[in-house]
Amino acid sequence: MTAPLPLPEIHLNGSGQNSLLGQMVDAVQALKLAADAMRESYPHMRDYYTLDPAIHSEAFKQHQDRISRIESLIEEYESIAVAIASL
């Protein structure tokens, strides 16, 4: 089980809700661009065919793991943004 996401408190001496929400939206957009670039850089077999096929399989598995991690980050930042929007 993961720990609950700590959320900021909106108050007079802190950042405003719109500012915090904008930061989260910017982060989500940047992560989505990064995820798209990562998907385009998948390990293509043409770059591995002279090697043992297991090497390509492992490269592809690791690539998929990286994609999963960034997708998880996107979901986390989106959850924070939704929570901030509802403060």
Question: pLDDT class for 1, splitting at 50, 70, 90?
Answer: low
At 74 the pLDDT is 98
Confirm whether 26 is domain-assigned: no
Confirm whether 38 is domain-assigned: yes
Cα angle 36, 28, 80 (rounded to 5 degrees) comes to 145
Confirm whether 81 is domain-assigned: yes
* Number of domains comprising the chain: 1
Question: pLDDT class for 76, splitting at 50, 70, 90?
Answer: very high
Confirm whether 21 is domain-assigned: no
Confirm whether 66 is domain-assigned: yes
Does pLDDT of 59 surpass 60?
yes
- The pTM score is 0.89
Confirm whether 2 is domain-assigned: no
Does pLDDT of 3 surpass 90?
no
- Structural domain span for residue 59: 31-85
Strands (E), 19-76: none
DSSP class of residue 60 equals H
